[in-house]
Structure 1
């Protein structure tokens, strides 16, 4: 098989890619729901350490995903890994000749999953296959498997998110000690020979580690442990192998040591993220001998906490990838800066992220390109020929000319706090539109970035403006913004969402009589509290997998398992969400379950029967309560789904129901 038979090459110089976007044609059929919510046609590709080979996941809607390797000089493709009854999961290069991969099943929802991912290794020519880790206690039967006599690693063995040295047959894997769903006791780091399955060494740990950081040479150099809600950072001396504490902080609130480890440079320099004398986190170097931060930050972003990674190569720091409104790269290396400019000139309408091989011996790099109107595409760029080749597109059926633009806006909350929000406006006039206020989950995470967002784009394609507030408590926008959201469920966090809705109405984007609030998880909670607190503002609500009572998060239900860690309930929730004893009155006043009778607007609800983060009783108890006084409540259960919908058929079904519900209440079919 040749690459051009499998992957479509493109010159990427046409007007469609690089020229101005055209307005959507009047009367053209709407994009299908499936185009937004099917699994990606193509999701990833990984260059080998030399850059001479490309590992890709191959598959289709009707076939199991396989692992393929492309020899880039010849474009020859070879399938090296496949299962008869599973799909290829994660995969990574051990060295330039050998890969490891896991198994998964894209056709099963959470409640039907019966196996762990396992771990397997194979050479890029298809030889040397070996199973390395069990799947739930049993060897996973695979066509062509030649299991050796050596005992397999336990099922709770997982790949790291770090490449390691990639220069031998060894790699480090994680052994997670679990006492139940979501209950992680500690993580051991295991050095594994992928050729014979032997455990060559196990890195000792100074406590109950839950995070490990390898240095540039792929050796364990730092770990973070947890004890009763306190996180401790330890540095491992390369000469003595002894661990030395660098600092402590509260694991869930972050209070304490004002830095977090980021990466080690080729010279052993430790780079950290710190809030030193600033509201936003920046990148500093940290002297492990003197325990001091550098005087000046290496990278500091205006208005944003640093989130990203350092890009190493050629024995030095080449650049920094960082997130502001969108992902971007600041290159410190002149050659990489020039390459970025050439690629950006070829793809002027997209964010273009370059991924380098570990030790480049070829001219190939990977480019991930995307925009608010453009789903992700992965390409190969040849630095010698200066040509781009399309490897794959995540959602090729999506036409960017039919998508809506997304803008980061800011508005003032009633107490003066500036709230960022994502505004997606359908093509056309963009004034006095029906609007969906889409609330992100978490809640103590960043909700979105400038990217193609299938939910917002789907709603916009149906004529709805979409507002997605980064309400207080959302991370990434500075410490003040984060801390302002502590213990504000249903209170100031809710006010931020309402104030954003009123801002959109005042600006003329939204019709005040046609606004619906929607969200999942915490976003589902905020949907219900929005209907309670602001009945004049929201015509209807859509919530799925939503929290309906904070006390239920603590206490759960005897016949439903929760994966919410006990440590988080004990040390995190009392400070971030509310203390069951000290804040009992507040938790009652901000409980949708307790306030259910106040909700009179039409409401669409959905839950997964296998959800362990927000178990089913959150939904069933609330539905029973609200139906006593509100006849306009629709209830949906997705059998075996967890916290959100994994299966495309359920996502497509759900958003089809959302479309009909919105149309009936605030769309063209509304009274």
Structure 2
């Protein structure tokens, strides 16, 4: 079955008849004449989520009031009359879930409050789709209050979050995380407790766990069947047999060697599916035989050149298909009817990826479609498979005109040692294809996949200002097989850094980039790579800008108010990054802080004062060190922000400064 990857999507301008229903209370933006403003890229989404009810009769959506907080609305797919059923006067509704056809749960937050200024948890609430039977299930207050004589409170404590629904029930599962997490002297991993909670009565019962459980998996009957535990560097997977109702260990393996498997999904027939390499280079999706305690020899889904990452699409009867990502998102349908339905939708929306969501037990002919591409933010549609008509629900970013956005494609280049490096290249629309200023944007993690063929506000903003953007998937990145990941171990500032530089040199050799106008940038690990790039390759990079970047590996070990667990510091970092004692010389040689005096290029640094992942001491120490010999250093601090910018005003401020910085450094031919 052919996969509809990036190469299979026909490229031509996306023209959509956009409308928003009266419940949104927001006027449609006209197609802009001038280049898009900074604000237009970093506004909050107009429609951030939509979900069908289990019977496909209703669709629930998150939409903001005009100049107000985000509300929860429900619309009958037949009558098409939307109704706001829940809102707060002082908070946004953050996310929601259908419990059953009549009831939903949701939590709260405030997207205009920074991490450092938060004083409340998310809470959890339940309400019927007609707005009746509202109940608070989880407290938002972080104070540990208790009723008289230790009596049970009417709501669960703030450290409780939604986990999973249970089909045909008023019950849900919630998990509780340990409240001492992140404390200076108590950063050891704590178990994640699972509770079954009734959304009408508020009563809950805790589920027995087999050890220090870090993840759970629920079957289609609503029973917890899989628990994954951790003990030091060892993970164990336990299965609770429905016949005996006791936990038995299926497997035990080292968390870092890639020899184990990740429980993924229980099918409607009770089959367990897992993600695993199973002796191969790439991760695939396999069925796990619970009777034989073994993985089937042949995978259900295996992708050429990529690890499997995605989700399973199913209803109450069977698995219908599998979503996955290669160079772009795609779906492999196992059901011929769904394959035909996908074709019908693609014929109507030929220039986008169109992800179809089906109801668990549909009683109507409607499905939900999320449509997106490199130039188009997500647009939500209802599709009637009976009439073959597509109805738009809303656009997440209606102020963005796809015809003004810049195309993105996956490219591959060779590193100096011959390793093939995948990368996404975004070419600024209308700027030509030769001798362009280039921003090499290094993803964080670093042990993640960084790029995707989706609209990215930061990349598109840079491209809108005339910059080509290269996003390398350097060694150590995940998603491209075990070898690609494994050869990145202990290569911070070394071969991982060479891969990034070789990407810039490739762009120059292809005539894409002006060799005198290349800037390196990134956040978190990408910030570290930015600084090391300026140190290692001073003639390649004209400038650099980084935010929330690591400036010294030893600081990651020593700063005791970060959120990294003791287990990761003891077992993970020595293997993946470097051992403080055994690799002391390497860690010093690859420390931006230790080598700050070598950076002479213009540099922009930005940090969040409330960052628990990369505490601001990384930034202040490096700022003080680099400024002694470099007058062209700009420092930005957002006291209320954490590991990245949450507030619109700070995003606009930061990227406005970035645009000015780049214009001064590489905006014009040298």
TM class by smaller structure: over 0.9
How has the CA–CA distance of structure 1 residues 353 and 275 changed in structure 2, closer, same or farther, with 3 Å as cutoff?
Answer: same
CA RMSD in angstroms comes to 2.0
Identify the match of residue 491 of structure 2 among 466, 470, 488.
488
Q: How far apart in 2 are the matches of 1:149 and 1:522?
A: 44
Match of 1:324 in 2: 326
Query: Does the 8 Å contact 1:248/1:256 carry over to 2?
Result: no
Q: How far apart in 1 are the matches of 2:160 and 2:421?
A: 41
Q: Which stretch has the larger CA shift, 629-638 or 235-244?
A: 235-244
Other structure's SS at 1:79 match = strand
Deviation of 1:520 after TM superposition, in Å, equals: 0.4
Other structure's SS at 1:180 match = coil
The question of 1:30 aligning with 2:35 is answered yes
Match of 1:530 in 2: 533
The question of 1:76 aligning with 2:81 is answered yes
Match of 2:253 in 1: 249
Match of 2:661 in 1: 661
Match of 2:243 in 1: 239
Match of 1:192 in 2: 197
Deviation of 1:430 after TM superposition, in Å, equals: 1.1
Equivalent positions of 1:142-221 (< 5 A) are 151-160=154-163, 162=164, 164-181=165-182, 183=187, 184-199=189-204, 201-221=205-225
Query: Does the 8 Å contact 1:69/1:80 carry over to 2?
Result: yes
In the TM superposition, what whole-angstrom CA distance separates every residue of 1:607-628 from its partner, at most 9, and x where no partner exists?
A: 0111111111100000000000
Q: How far apart in 2 are the matches of 1:378 and 1:406?
A: 22
Query: Does the 8 Å contact 1:7/1:392 carry over to 2?
Result: no
Q: Which runs of 5 or more residues in structure 1 are unaligned? A: 9-23, 141-147
In the TM superposition, what whole-angstrom CA distance separates every residue of 1:519-576 from its partner, at most 9, and x where no partner exists?
A: 000000000000000001000000000000000011016xxx3112221111110100
Q: How far apart in 1 are the matches of 2:389 and 2:233?
A: 51
Deviation of 1:254 after TM superposition, in Å, equals: 4.2
Deviation of 1:73 after TM superposition, in Å, equals: 1.9
Query: Does the 8 Å contact 1:132/1:194 carry over to 2?
Result: yes
Q: How far apart in 1 are the matches of 2:605 and 2:85?
A: 44
Q: How far apart in 1 are the matches of 2:267 and 2:181?
A: 37
How has the CA–CA distance of structure 1 residues 138 and 72 changed in structure 2, closer, same or farther, with 3 Å as cutoff?
Answer: farther
Q: TM-score, normalization: structure 2? A: 0.93
Deviation of 1:229 after TM superposition, in Å, equals: 2.2
In the TM superposition, what whole-angstrom CA distance separates every residue of 1:47-89 from its partner, at most 9, and x where no partner exists?
A: 1111111111121462111111112221222222111211111
Query: Does the 8 Å contact 1:3/1:76 carry over to 2?
Result: no
Q: Which stretch has the larger CA shift, 269-278 or 541-550?
A: 269-278
Q: Where in structure 1 do 4 or more consecutive aligned residues deviate above 2 Å?
A: 2-8, 136-140, 148-151, 180-184, 254-257
Match of 2:581 in 1: 581
How has the CA–CA distance of structure 1 residues 61 and 250 changed in structure 2, closer, same or farther, with 3 Å as cutoff?
Answer: farther
Match of 1:353 in 2: 355
Equivalent positions of 1:453-464 (< 5 A) are 453-464=456-467
Equivalent positions of 1:29-428 (< 5 A) are 29-60=34-65, 62-137=67-142, 151-160=154-163, 162=164, 164-181=165-182, 183=187, 184-199=189-204, 201-251=205-255, 253-257=256-260, 259-428=261-430
Deviation of 1:325 after TM superposition, in Å, equals: 1.0
Q: How far apart in 2 are the matches of 1:596 and 1:390?
A: 53
Query: Does the 8 Å contact 2:72/2:87 carry over to 1?
Result: yes
Deviation of 1:639 after TM superposition, in Å, equals: 1.9
Q: How far apart in 2 are the matches of 1:587 and 1:60?
A: 51
Query: Does the 8 Å contact 2:57/2:363 carry over to 1?
Result: yes
Query: Does the 8 Å contact 2:104/2:128 carry over to 1?
Result: yes
Query: Does the 8 Å contact 2:120/2:140 carry over to 1?
Result: yes
In the TM superposition, what whole-angstrom CA distance separates every residue of 1:195-221 from its partner, at most 9, and x where no partner exists?
A: 01111x322100011101011122111
Q: TM-score, normalization: structure 1? A: 0.92
Match of 1:545 in 2: 548
Q: How far apart in 2 are the matches of 1:90 and 1:566?
A: 31
Q: Which runs of 5 or more residues in structure 2 are unaligned? A: 1-18, 26-30, 146-150
Deviation of 1:7 after TM superposition, in Å, equals: 6.4
Deviation of 1:102 after TM superposition, in Å, equals: 0.6
Other structure's SS at 1:305 match = coil
Q: How far apart in 1 are the matches of 2:226 and 2:216?
A: 6
Query: Does the 8 Å contact 1:525/1:547 carry over to 2?
Result: yes
Query: Does the 8 Å contact 2:20/2:393 carry over to 1?
Result: no
Query: Does the 8 Å contact 1:150/1:197 carry over to 2?
Result: no
Deviation of 1:137 after TM superposition, in Å, equals: 4.4
Q: How far apart in 2 are the matches of 1:337 and 1:349?
A: 18
Other structure's SS at 1:186 match = coil
The question of 1:431 aligning with 2:434 is answered yes
Match of 2:14 in 1: none
Deviation of 1:4 after TM superposition, in Å, equals: 4.0
Q: How far apart in 2 are the matches of 1:604 and 1:61?
A: 35
Q: Which stretch has the larger CA shift, 411-420 or 272-281?
A: 272-281
Query: Does the 8 Å contact 2:282/2:480 carry over to 1?
Result: yes
Match of 1:470 in 2: 473
Q: Which stretch has the larger CA shift, 378-387 or 413-422?
A: 378-387
Deviation of 1:317 after TM superposition, in Å, equals: 1.1
Q: How far apart in 2 are the matches of 1:453 and 1:80?
A: 31
Q: How far apart in 2 are the matches of 1:120 and 1:356?
A: 25
How has the CA–CA distance of structure 1 residues 522 and 61 changed in structure 2, closer, same or farther, with 3 Å as cutoff?
Answer: farther
Other structure's SS at 1:431 match = coil
Q: How far apart in 1 are the matches of 2:440 and 2:375?
A: 19
Q: How far apart in 1 are the matches of 2:66 and 2:666?
A: 35
Q: How far apart in 2 are the matches of 1:55 and 1:651?
A: 29
